[in-house]
């Protein structure tokens, strides 16, 4: 690594790499443990590693009880700000602890035991956070499903996680429409073979659900009458949650995170990456259904004794492009985290940032961006407007916390717009060629992380250890394969360029084109199809479907395209954002029959491309290129 990086950073990085047990044991000391570990790192089952083996702890205790015991009970733990309902609510640490302890009691009363799964399908309401912490409190494993997914996606997750209980709400609220969640849940349960014992439903006044007697329980009744319960100490290596994320096929991957290592890593990141102090206000404008929400709305800010902000709204349209600035000013936010796409949406409506100038943003110390590549324009726009460091950082659902960042709490580095900066201590980044050999600075290759990964990263895939091995560990023995390509420059800065697989990033949401292809191919008139991600100025990427119709189909192509769009929306969810579908004569393929997706993508993005030597019939590309080229 470069010598231009400050010694303070280099020392921390070296120490974490060379003496990981010593390094992480020191950071673990900041938290409470019911029983100390026997081994900091258990490598006996490598390449599967376990952190803090033999220890007992509970992440909920560390996020709530520990702070109340230390006198932080009156401080705000959670501020709920919901422009879509016009509501705001504040919970002190003591109040949040009381609610969580009662919710945990309600779950226990309904038979949820240590290790049982609880699926949470909720909008951005405080009860979603309470439900997650309540599961953790009793050692149950939560699995939160993002509200923008449709019933079949929810059903897949129910069947994989086999929950004892499902927690949901009567509705979610998107700008201009109220989404009835309960019918979606019904539909999902009709599709899934697994059935939970009960569904605990939060009735929202905007749209009440008709509860099914026997199966459905009313949140308010159950939680208000339940007796509070204490934290159950669990092994540090016990699963805390399963979070499903898109893979290259229609089957989502259940990322498993543990209690102990996760708590240690998140707490460390709040100091080192985000430079926060207890008592400060931290706002991650994401959704609890994504990893950013899990880590930086729920667990990390609370572990650090910060006030976390839960925002039920959008960057624009709720009511306008000043929404973020209003929230920062009103709640004196110190640290703000969002996706570049949200800033681009604001910039589009308010290019000069005039609306921001009506708000007192003096509390803000830094803005963090992740979820997709940060374009230099957006970074510079935000820097000029906010006059604070704008920090791009890179990570993934699997990793759970930032792996490449400009660590503001360790040694802030000069920003290079477009680079996520340097590997965070604990992560050893390598750029590998096709043979797994490290590449020199400046050369693009696959980004990989040397094993063992630090605490807080995935311990395995839910009931799919082989999938973890084959999907991440086998390609480059001794490394975790990230699925991203990029390079490290001569100064040691990492530049993440693109995915190497069929995952695309739409408005900061990770989606699988493979999953969309499975749905499109299911249309009765479609013979074959390809879905590719095409560059989009606002959302980063948007999916584009190309379909070849079955011989003899006489129906209007426009009707078929509209049906395909509706089918993806109904089966995956509105969040898939597949709105463009083209009917084509044939798809360009290699002689072995593989669709040339990368070439199609390059054409659609207006990038230079070469006709691959393996192409079956070059005329297919010549026919398609004019249809695909931007504009």
Asked if 427 and 449 touch (Cβ cutoff 8 Å), the reply is: yes
371 lies in the site for ligand AMP, by CB under 6 A: yes
- Residue 255 CB, shortest distance to ligand AMP, in Å, is 9
The mark string for 252-291 relative to ligand COA (x by CB under 6 A, - otherwise) is: ---------------------------------xxx--x-
* Site for ligand COA, residues 362 to 421, rule: CB under 6 A: 370-371
The stretch near ligand AMP (CB under 6 A) out of 33-41, 135-143, 369-377, 436-444 is 369-377
What span, in angstroms and rounded, lies between the C-alpha atoms of 274 and 420?
14
Q: 């120490």: which residue's tokens?
A: 15
Using CB under 6 A, pick the residue from 370, 531, 565, 587 that binds ligand AMP. 370
Burial class (CB in 10 A: 0-12, 13-18, 19+), 74: exposed
Nearer to ligand AMP, 226 or 390 (CB): 390
Q: How would DSSP label each residue in 316-329?
A: SSSSSTTHHHHHHH
> Residue 33 or 336: which CB sits closer to ligand COA?
336
By CB under 6 A, which span of 33-41, 487-495, 502-510, 529-537 interacts with ligand COA? 502-510
In this structure, are strands 253-258 and 239-245 parallel, antiparallel, or unpaired? antiparallel
Q: How far is the CB of 445 from ligand AMP (least distance, A)?
A: 15
Q: Could you say which of 188, 496, 542, 576 contacts ligand AMP (CB under 6 A)?
A: 496
**Interior/surface letters 311-321, b for 16+ CB within 10 angstroms, e for the rest:** bbbbbbbbeeb
Q: Among 110-118, 144-152, 270-278, 481-489, which window interacts with ligand AMP (CB under 6 A)?
A: 481-489
Q: Which 132-151 residues touch ligand COA, going by CB under 6 A? A: 147-148
Closest CA relative to residue 5, chosen from 443, 422, 426, 450: 422
Q: Report if residue 316 touches ligand COA, rule: CB under 6 A.
A: yes
Site string for ligand COA, 153-182 (x = CB under 6 A): -------------------x-x----x---
Query: How far, in Å, CA of 540 to CA of 341, rounded?
Result: 7
Alpha-carbon span 243 to 581, nearest angstrom:
30
Integer Cα distance of 333 and 352 in angstroms: 22
Sign of CA dihedral 110, 112, 117, 119: positive
Exposure string for 544-570, b = 16+ CB within 10 A, e = fewer:
bbbbbbeeeeeeeeeebbebbbebbbe
**575 binds ligand COA, rule: CB under 6 A:** yes
Contact between 396 and ligand AMP by CB under 6 A: the answer reads yes
- Select the residue interacting with ligand AMP from 99, 216, 280, 372 (CB under 6 A): 372
Please pick, from the candidates 508, 533, 545, 588, the single residue that binds ligand COA as defined by CB under 6 A. 508
The nearest distance, CB 538 to ligand COA, in angstroms, is 6
* Site track 511-550 with ligand COA (rule: CB under 6 A), x = hit: ----------------------------------------
574 binds, among ligand AMP, ligand COA, none (CB under 5 to 8 A by kind): ligand COA
DSSP SS3 for 124: coil
Q: Greatest CA span in the chain, whole angstroms? A: 74
**Tokens encoding 523:** 């249309």
Write the binding mask 269 to 308 for ligand AMP: x where contact by CB under 6 A, - elsewhere.
----------------------x-----------------
- For ligand AMP, the binding residue among 294, 510, 539, 601 (CB under 6 A) is 510
3-state SS string over 359-394?
CCCCCCCEEEECCCCCCHHHHHHHHHHHCCCEEECE
CA distances from 126 to 267, 305, 309, 353, 454 (A): 22, 17, 10, 31, 30
Q: Do the Cβ atoms of 95 and 129 come closer than 8 Å?
A: no
148 binds ligand AMP (CB under 6 A): no
Strands 445-450 and 422-423: unpaired
316 binds, among ligand AMP, ligand COA, none (CB under 5 to 8 A by kind): ligand COA
- Minimum separation from the CB atom of position 539 to ligand AMP (A): 13
Residue numbers at the binding site for ligand COA (CB under 6 A) = 147-148, 172, 174, 179, 285-287, 290, 292, 314-316, 338-339, 341-342, 345, 370-371, 506-509, 574-575, 577
Instruction: Tell me which residues touch ligand AMP (CB under 6 A).
Output: 245, 291, 370-374, 392-394, 396-397, 420, 482-484, 496, 499, 505, 510
């Amino acid at each position: 690594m470069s010598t231009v990086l400050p010694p303070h950073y280099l020392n921390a990085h070296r120490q974490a790499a060379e003496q990981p047990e010593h390094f992480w044991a020191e950071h673990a000391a900041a938290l409470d443990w019911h029983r100390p570990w026997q081994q900091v790192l258990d490598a006996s089952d490598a390449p599967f590693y376990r952190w803090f083996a033999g220890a007992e702890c509970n992440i909920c205790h560390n996020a709530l009880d520990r702070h109340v015991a230390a006198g932080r009970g009156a401080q705000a733990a959670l501020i709920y700000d919901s422009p879509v309902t016009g509501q705001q609510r504040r919970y002190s640490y003591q109040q949040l602890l009381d609610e969580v302890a009662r919710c945990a009691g309600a779950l226990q009363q309904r038979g949820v035991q240590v290790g049982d799964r609880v699926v949470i399908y909720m909008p951005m309401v405080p009860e979603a956070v309470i439900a997650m912490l309540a599961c953790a409190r009793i050692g149950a494993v939560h699995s939160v499903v993002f509200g923008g997914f449709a019933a079949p996606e929810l059903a897949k997750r129910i069947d994989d996680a086999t929950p004892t209980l499902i927690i949901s709400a009567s509705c979610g609220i998107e700008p201009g429409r109220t989404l009835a969640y309960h019918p979606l849940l019904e539909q999902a349960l009709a599709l899934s073979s697994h059935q939970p014992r009960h569904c605990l439903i939060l009735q929202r006044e905007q749209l009440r659900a008709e509860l099914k007697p026997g199966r459905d329980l009313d949140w308010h009744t159950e939680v208000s009458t339940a007796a509070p319960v204490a934290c159950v100490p669990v092994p540090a290596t016990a699963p805390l949650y399963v979070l499903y994320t898109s893979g290259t096929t229609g089957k989502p991957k259940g990322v498993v995170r543990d209690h102990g290592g996760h708590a240690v890593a998140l707490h460390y990141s709040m100091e080192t990456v985000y430079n926060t102090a207890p008592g400060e206000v931290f706002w991650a404008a994401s959704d609890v259904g994504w990893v950013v929400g899990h880590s930086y709305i729920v667990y990390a800010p609370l572990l650090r004794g910060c006030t976390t902000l839960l925002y039920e709204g959008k960057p624009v349209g709720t009511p306008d492009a000043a929404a973020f600035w209003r929230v920062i000013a009103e709640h004196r936010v110190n640290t703000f985290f969002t996706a570049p796409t949200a800033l681009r949406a604001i910039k589009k409506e308010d290019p000069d940032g005039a609306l921001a100038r009506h708000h007192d943003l003096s509390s803000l110390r830094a803005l963090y961006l992740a979820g997709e590549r940060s374009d230099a324009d957006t970074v510079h726009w935000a820097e000029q407007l906010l006059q604070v460091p704008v920090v791009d950082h890179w990570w993934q659902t699997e990793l759970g916390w930032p792996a490449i960042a400009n660590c503001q709490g360790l040694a802030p580095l000069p920003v290079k717009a477009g680079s996520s900066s340097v590997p965070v201590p604990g992560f050893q980044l390598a750029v590998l060629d096709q043979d797994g050999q490290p590449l020199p600075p400046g050369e693009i290759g696959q980004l990989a992380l040397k094993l063992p990964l630090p605490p807080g990263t995935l311990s395995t895939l839910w009931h799919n250890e082989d999938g973890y091995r084959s999907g991440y560990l086998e390609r480059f023995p001794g490394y975790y394969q990230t699925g991203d390509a990029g390079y490290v420059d001569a100064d040691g800065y990492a530049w993440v360029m693109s995915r190497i697989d069929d995952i695309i990033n739409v408005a900061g949401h990770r989606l699988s084109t493979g999953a969309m292809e499975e749905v499109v191919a299911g249309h009765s008139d479609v013979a074959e199809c390809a879905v590719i991600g095409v560059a989009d100025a606002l959302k980063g990427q948007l999916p584009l479907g190309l379909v070849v119709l079955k011989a003899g189909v006489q129906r209007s192509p426009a009707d078929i395209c509209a049906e395909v769009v509706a089918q993806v929306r109904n089966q995956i969810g509105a969040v898939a954002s597949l709105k463009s579908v083209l009917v084509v004569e044939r798809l360009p393929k290699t002689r072995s029959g593989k669709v040339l997706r990368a070439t199609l993508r390059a054409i659609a993005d207006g990038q230079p491309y070469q006709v691959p030597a393996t192409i079956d019939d070059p005329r297919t590309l010549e026919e398609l290129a004019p249809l695909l080229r931007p504009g």
